[in-house]
Structure 1
Amino acid sequence: MLGKLDWVPAAERAGLLAEPVVAAVRDVPEAYVAPIDPALADTAEFCAHYDVPLEASVNCVIVAAKRGGEVRYAACMVRATDRADVNGAVRRHLGARKVSFAPMDEATSLTGMEYGGITPFGLPGDWPVLVDEAAAALPRAVVGSGIRGSKLLVPGKALAALPGAEVIALAQG
């Protein structure tokens, strides 16, 4: 399907998904999962080792948006070849005074997922999921599975169809 991985329907391998992700991918028939070496979960190492093009890998970063003493979290989805315009597009879209990457311990405790495996599937329901236009347009996108020991393969349109998803020009450049 993509790269040197053994992709199987995600609904058949719940053990390869973080708990919050299991129910979220159940209704995505085009979702596949493959086991990987957890030491190779970081994007560059993963793509190089498993022959997955960087352009097909989509990163999920959790940001904390602050305004008037209130903190709101959101997920940003951008291709691995791009960078999210956190201080521009994301800040403006969320109406925040300041946006920063959520600290690792906050991101993992709030999502119930492992750092390096965070995915937009199974995030808290009130979080916006900002999906870059280029990521939404991918025929197949590799994203985290909630754990470092596997990856999900989904169509970009599945990212755009997530609860709370908004497709915007998110990439910096």
Structure 2
Amino acid sequence: MSTTRFGTLELAPAAEHPELLAAPVRDFLAAHPDERVLVGAIDAVLADTAAFCARYEVDPSQGANCVVVEARRGETRTLVACMILGSDRIDVNGAVRRMLDARRASFAPLDAVIEATGMQYGGVTPLGLPAEWAILVDEAVAASGPLIVGAGIRGAKLLVTGEYLAGLPGARVAPIAQR
């Protein structure tokens, strides 16, 4: 088994460590194998961006957060995953709302996200999301090299590239972040 370091995080091929992946992520990677997807165990208490970056010596701009937004138009409610750099803020009521042609958009309720994804809060990732969900990937994320993202559980992180995220099924690159 070969390992790679990113900051101080030790990473290995995700396929070799299914115990570090939420079931939907594990299933996604089994159906879409890619040896470039790496995984590393972390202290689950440090899963949130600021704590993770400080402990594992990773700049927030070297990570991408998966923010789930609920868009509403009349009685129709849609959940969408938005990928933004850890150093940026998402423009929910501007860019995201307009892109989804929604009357209202807001952060999705935590319980609904956990139930719909089968992932843990603080570990939600675009890999393994329900097939009907769109994934909006901010332009800065798509243009990035190696990026840390969630693994579906709080106790692990994945290393992928912006190109990989932009190429996920259902992904669309768009300007959705405020810098």
Tell me how far apart the structure 2 counterparts of residues 131 and 45 of structure 1 sit (CA, whole Å). 23
Q: Residue 73 of structure 1 contacts residue 127 of structure 1 at CA under 8 Å; is this kept in 2?
A: yes
Tell me how far apart the structure 2 counterparts of residues 25 and 146 of structure 1 sit (CA, whole Å). 12
- Is there any run of 5+ residues in structure 2 with no aligned partner, and where? none
Residue equivalent to 2:99: 93
Q: Which has the higher strand share?
A: 2
Residue 75, structure 1, aligned to residue 75, structure 2: no
Q: Which residue among 20, 23, 29 is the counterpart of 2:27?
A: 23
- Is there any run of 5+ residues in structure 1 with no aligned partner, and where? none
Residue equivalent to 1:2: 6
Residue 114, structure 1, aligned to residue 120, structure 2: yes
Q: Which residue among 46, 49, 63 is the counterpart of 1:57?
A: 63
Q: What is the RMSD of the two structures over their aligned residues, measured on CA atoms?
A: 0.8
How many residue pairs end up in the alignment? 173
Instruction: Give 1:55's aligned amino acid.
Output: S
Give the drift of 1:172: 1.6
Tell me how far apart the structure 1 counterparts of residues 118 and 37 of structure 2 sit (CA, whole Å). 20
Give the drift of 1:10: 0.4
Using the size of structure 1 for normalisation, the TM-score is 0.98
For the residue of structure 1 that corresponds to 2:115, the secondary structure is: helix
Using the size of structure 2 for normalisation, the TM-score is 0.94
Give the drift of 1:28: 2.3
State the identity as a percent: 53
Instruction: Give 1:85's aligned amino acid.
Output: D
